[in-house]
Structure 1
Amino acid sequence: MTTSPGMFEGSEISELCDSIKDIHRLLKSVGAFHAELDEAEAPGGNGLQIDFKKWGIRTITEDLLARQYAKIDRMAAIYKKEQEKMRGR
């Protein structure tokens, strides 16, 4: 697929790809850390410390994902705007 001039700038494409890669890395890392925490709980323990750590991880992850999704949404809005311009020509 070829793009028309002005469709996406090189830095925007790079930013979009980086956002997608960051989301993948983040989810992969969080999943691995959750698995580690599950295995770390002592038998017979109440798990409160681990639950608190999981809550912290979830909170941080949600914030980081929201930032990455915002970047992707911005790129999608640029793309949609450019498509509308092209249709109007």
Structure 2
Amino acid sequence: MTSPDSQPGPVMFSGSEIAELCDAIKDVHRLLTSVGAFFSELEAAEAPGGNGLQIDFKKWGLRTITEDLLERQYKAVDRIVAFYREEQERMGEK
């Protein structure tokens, strides 16, 4: 007997959409991990009597770059999710 999951059916994705979605999610994870590690290093570098302004500027730059990169990755994820939803709706109509 064949399980329902292994029966052939309409394919929802064609091409590289799944790999692209996985890569976008992995990129978000790597970005957040790297930013967190770098931010922790900046926090530890802030010595009493040191140049706090320089560290604040680095934190601001890091936050700005991170927000931009995350926005790009989220757009990629949102685009693929929208495609997935359209495919689901189309398959539901059949």
**So what's the TM-score if we normalise by structure 2?**
0.86
For structure 2, which runs of at least 5 residues remain unmatched after alignment?
Answer: none
1:28 and 1:69 mapped to 2: Cα distance?
16
Letter of the 1:4 counterpart: P
Displacement of 1:45 after TM fit? Answer: 2.9
Matching residue of 1:40: 45
CA deviations on 1:17-62 (whole Å, 9 max, x unpaired) are 0000000000000000000001111212351110100000000000
**So what's the TM-score if we normalise by structure 1?**
0.90
In the alignment of these two chains, the number of paired residues is 88
2:34 and 2:79 mapped to 1: Cα distance?
25
Match of 1:29 among 29, 34, 45: 34
Letter of the 2:55 counterpart: I
Give the fraction of aligned pairs with identical amino acids, expressed as a percent.
68
Q: Secondary structure at the match of 1:42?
A: coil
Matching residue of 2:80: 75
Matching residue of 2:23: 18
The runs of at least 4 aligned residues of structure 1 exceeding 6 Å deviation read none
Larger Cα-atom Rg: 2
The yes-or-no answer on 1:4 pairing with 2:17 is no
Letter of the 2:89 counterpart: E
1:66 and 1:4 mapped to 2: Cα distance?
32
